[in-house]
Amino acid sequence: MDKNKFEIVLDYFKKISKIPRCSLNEQEISDYLVNFAKENNFEVYQDDLLNVIIKKEATEGYENAPTVILQGHMDMVCEKNEDVIHDFTKDPIELIVNGDYMSANGTTLGADNGIAVAFCLAILSSNDIPHPAIEVLITSREEIGLLGANAVDGTKLNGKILINIDAEEEGVLFTSCAGGIRSAVKIPITYENILNDNFYEIKITGLKGGHSGMEIDKNRANSNKLLGRVLKNLSEIDSFRIAEVSGGMKVNAIPREAIAKVIFDNENIHEIEDGINNINKIFRNEFQSSDSDISIQLIKINDTLNKVFSNETQSKLISLYTLMPFGVKSMSSNINGLVESSTNLGIVRTDEEFILFNSSTRSSVGSLKTKIIEEISKLSEILNLKMETFASYPEWEYKEKSYIRDLFVEIYNDMYHNKPVITAIHAGLECGILSEKIENSDMIAFGPNIYDVHTPNEKISISSVENTWNYFCEVLKRINKN
């Protein structure tokens, strides 16, 4: 494949990296896609949730080939390091190229799933890449529960073959995925008035975090769960009162930082400091392979608080921290190494009236997803709390016969003299929802090597993007069933 054609992909990725596209802030990127289509005289459709469908006619000789849907999502997870000044609502992503890798300056890169948008724009703008009739579907709000896909009008699409470009490992083809659901447990806050300047902040940092589906099996620490353990252990050393807790930014990212604002009754803080140092050693031992840089800090705050959580609120808080499930719940018996079900306590936040515990649960088996939700519901009931569920999406089931899967395997073998890995993914792909909207659909998901998605360490392999692009173009070239 001509190098210049591949560079078009990178050019489009750089262009969209200048456009704000956090979930729920997608108007500008959606309008950019619409304007691109209009400028190139393509048929385009934009719905109320900002999903965009762009249609391009087949190139010469492919008029009788089946229409192909190319699919990805426009939004990205917006995370940044604490010391980075960046406003995701207006600032462009600052791209950094270091050898084969492209990353961002202290923020998420947005290759998940900006690379799909770049692939689609490159194909749409090409004049000399042979392909069948194409329907590009770029959805919104994927990262907050696949909400855009849920709103897609399937009657606007004619294609039955769908290529999803939202996978993150070269040479791995996904043919099924987990379904998911999100839950929210709220602890009503009752306060007690207090005047005390013995005010500290307990801060947990240094965790790797990661995608709550893709990295859930890597034994990475969850800062919210760690903070709960710290508070539980400190309650056995000395009495203290909690004024505020927080941790995590996205429910589908393993949280990297957590904070508790507390007031200690004991003026002698040395015993508390020793306790925190001991807990820090325990955590570093437990997570020495996955999160060796865990740090627990006790920081004196020069401020005076006038209210703290009541004893009842604090007791429920520590209990919920301690008992809320996190991590892998079961492994697949059919696919070696595949996580079957899991849950992630992604966000803890203190509002004026409630403390919110927000979790994301995934499973490739619907009944196991229900089982985990029932466990959280029962825990909430025991603590006399209310739980709500939302953003549910179905799993994508494996099909025994698949034309597009066979074609991807055949071409991979021809190009690289090796077989690709055919597997499932323990994450939510929009294929599950779209397979219900597109009758008799035939789908596959693939993509280049992307690392540490949903974290500021996210990076993409440029050579892998090139390999994947060449592979992608060859697939389009060979889809020609007359």
175 vs 272: CA distance, rounded Å: 51
Task: Check if the beta carbon of residue 137 is closer than 8 Å to that of residue 430.
Answer: no
Residue 142 annotated among the catalytic residues of the structure: yes
CA 254, 140, 49, 21 dihedral sign is positive
What count of residues does the chain have?
A: 482
List, in order, residues 6 or more apart from 285 with CB less than 8 Å away: none
Which one from 135, 142, 458, 466 is the annotated catalytic residue?
142
Task: Give the Cα separation of 461 and 31 in Å (integer).
Answer: 28
Q: Which residue type is seen at 291?
A: D
Is-catalytic flag, 75?
yes
Beta-bridge partners for 3: none
Per annotation, catalytic residue among 26, 75, 291, 395: 75
Just list the catalytic residues.
75, 142
